[in-house]
Amino acid sequence: MRTICHNWVNMHKYNIPSTMVFYLCQNSMLLQMKNIFIVLLLVTQTSIAQKSQINDQELKAGLKQSVEFLAADRLEGRRTGTEGEKLASQYISDQFKKAGLTPLTSQNDYLEPFEVQDGRVLLPATSLSIDKDPLQLNEDWFPLSLSSDIDKSFSYIPTNRKYPVFLFDLRKGLEENKDNPHFDLEEYIGNMCRDVIKKGTEAIILYNSSSIDDNLKYNPKSKTTALSIPVIYISKDIRQKYFTEKSIPSLNLIIKSENRVRTGHNVIGMINNGAKFTVVIGAHYDHLGYGEDHNSLYAGKTPMIHNGADDNASGTAALIELAKWIPSSELKKYNYLFLAFSGEELGLFGSKYFVDHSNFDLDKVNYMINMDMVGRLNDSTHGLTIGGYGTTPEWGKLILEHDPYFRIKLDSSGTGPSDHTSFYLKNVPVLFFFTGIHSDYHKPSDDADKINYDGMVKIVDYIKNILTKTNELDKMSFTKTREVSMASSSFKVTMGIMADYSYSGIGVYIDGVSEGRPAQKAGLQHGDVVVQLGDYKISDMQAYMKALGKFSKGDTTRVKVIRDKQEMFFQLTF
């Protein structure tokens, strides 16, 4: 009985029907045969075990090859729209081709180009002179980000007449709101401008006669849509010198700007089994380059390549291995669409483009699996975060919270800091795999030699298992979950913390603090839970992101954290 019990465990592991064991057990007449059978089974088991070991070795070698290629210095950090991104996309295309995947649209091309709006830069022609005196751009004056382009001369006429030019003092708004933490100056200016445009104003000139600092400047990264008229800011001195009660200054204003656009490329390959529904598997392959887009946590002055081995050469390597595996597997009930996204680090641009612009019918997607940072499995804890758990009731049946190998942290939310969010927002059930934030996150030190390849093998095998189980099931139903959106926001400031996105208590749990950044300087540490920033209560990640948007560089605020169940306060300067 014990032997059989023991055998049952092994057979279960290798998917040998348990009915066979009971048959062997019950029928004593077949003792002889049973012995032969057990010998045969042992032989089969050994060869299965050997075969799976060989498979795992091959899988590990494949993962290592891809991570090392993608995270090599030659690719210069795979920043969206660069030569490094191109080399990476070629590598992925080649791998897809070798695996037998077909391109989605054209005959030979796996690439899907998309544009990333990269803000608006002022061209050198931009100038302002008043009464023929040329003014110094950025010192005496500057256009606001919401200004239109223009090339025009006009006279300012004092405001008690019908005026085409509107001179506006920011003093009132700033003074009235100096204690209002919710005051957003740019929003205030935008509203005022739209209001006076309706009254027929042709240009707006802003100044600030108060002693309150307004921190305004031209922001080339601004994503605001330009208004229909020019909006400029002049210094206090210029205002006093030229715009007096008696004088009618004449202005000569030229604003010329150019939209900066980058082209990123998603890499897309399909396994078409002629099925009605498709399983989507994705991972982003872009990273930070030299940190030009200000999304790096590196504090040093010399620009360095951010290799992004974990983020997200690891997920891309896993994607490639799954693409190689599916054609040889038994999985035929669904089609499989493999997506390697670019533009993720800039705000999920590639995946957003795919869900909005590809002709792929998303109603025909069964579910989407996203892998982002799966290369740092901790060898002692085996902690694995699985997000999107709440996006279909089916996941609850397939994913066990107490896995025999992984310590699984479940996050029910369908949104999060990666590309599955784009699919979830189109009502597609999603799963998101993530081995956690670490001290090399978004730093040049996220290198290939720190990747846990054995851990990645375990994760790929785990995902294969899910793909196999869902091959037996019908198309999944979709359920909405609580929203935690942070990927699409852009901030003027950061605290320099690594937050635990799967933390479900009140506040934001700090998984780590970056060297030399505001949080570390203020004294915050791993394990603190941020519950208040200045006047803003921080209930969750979303509230945290919203609160961050209210601060500017140089602002000092009080941070309330919970540390070891105690409330503590720190002064933090952004």
What gap in Å lies between CA 450 and CA 61, rounded to an integer? Answer: 15
- Name the one range near Zn ion by CB under 5 A: 74-82, 307-315, 482-490, 516-524: 307-315
Please identify, using beta-carbon distances, which residue of 141 and 285 lies nearer to Zn ion. Answer: 285
Nearest CA among 563, 560, 559, 543 for reference residue 573: 559
| Number of residues that this document lists for the chain | 574
- Name the one range near Zn ion by CB under 5 A: 135-143, 223-231, 232-240, 303-311: 303-311
- Name the one range near Zn ion by CB under 5 A: 218-226, 247-255, 308-316, 330-338: 308-316
Q: 70 to each of 57, 327, 353, 450, how far by Cα in Å?
A: 20, 24, 23, 14
Nearest CA among 512, 544, 545, 505 for reference residue 528: 512
Which residue is closest to Zn ion by CB?
Answer: 311
**Binding to Zn ion in span 36-95, by CB under 5 A:** none
Least distance between Zn ion and beta carbon 280 (Å) = 20
- Name the one range near Zn ion by CB under 5 A: 304-312, 444-452, 455-463, 536-544: 304-312
- Name the one range near Zn ion by CB under 5 A: 174-182, 268-276, 310-318, 536-544: 310-318
- Does 311 engage in binding with Zn ion (CB under 5 A)? yes
Least distance between Zn ion and beta carbon 348 (Å) = 11
Return the residue matching tokens 């790096």. 296
| Secondary structure, 3-state, 267-319 | EEEEECCCCCCEEEEEEECCECCCCCCCCCCCCCCCCCCCCCHHHHHHHHHHH
Please identify, using beta-carbon distances, which residue of 335 and 418 lies nearer to Zn ion. Answer: 418
Least distance between Zn ion and beta carbon 508 (Å) = 18
The four Cα atoms 146, 148, 151, 154 give a dihedral, to 10 degrees, of -70
Least distance between Zn ion and beta carbon 312 (Å) = 7
What gap in Å lies between CA 339 and CA 461, rounded to an integer? Answer: 19
Least distance between Zn ion and beta carbon 437 (Å) = 10
Q: What angle do CA 326, 329, 333 make, to 5 degrees?
A: 80
Q: Which helix (H) or strand (E) holds 265?
A: strand 257-271
Please identify, using beta-carbon distances, which residue of 341 and 544 lies nearer to Zn ion. Answer: 341
- Name the one range near Zn ion by CB under 5 A: 167-175, 217-225, 260-268, 306-314: 306-314
What gap in Å lies between CA 98 and CA 139, rounded to an integer? Answer: 58
**Binding to Zn ion in span 378-407, by CB under 5 A:** none
Please identify, using beta-carbon distances, which residue of 85 and 311 lies nearer to Zn ion. Answer: 311
Least distance between Zn ion and beta carbon 436 (Å) = 13
Pair 95, 320: CB distance under 8 Å: yes
Please identify, using beta-carbon distances, which residue of 293 and 321 lies nearer to Zn ion. Answer: 293
Least distance between Zn ion and beta carbon 513 (Å) = 17
Least distance between Zn ion and beta carbon 71 (Å) = 13
Q: How many CB atoms lie within 10 A of CB 51?
A: 10
Please identify, using beta-carbon distances, which residue of 295 and 525 lies nearer to Zn ion. Answer: 295
Please identify, using beta-carbon distances, which residue of 293 and 528 lies nearer to Zn ion. Answer: 293
Side chain identity, residue 5:
C
Buried b (16+ CB within 10 A) or exposed e, 429-454: bbbbbbbbbbebbbbbebbbeebbbe
Q: How many CB atoms lie within 10 A of CB 230?
A: 26
Least distance between Zn ion and beta carbon 417 (Å) = 8
Please identify, using beta-carbon distances, which residue of 206 and 297 lies nearer to Zn ion. Answer: 297
Number of residues that bind Zn ion (CB under 5 A): 1
Nearest CA among 391, 388, 354 for reference residue 371: 388
Least distance between Zn ion and beta carbon 483 (Å) = 20
- Name the one range near Zn ion by CB under 5 A: 243-251, 309-317, 378-386, 530-538: 309-317
Residue ranges in contact with Zn ion by CB under 5 A: 311
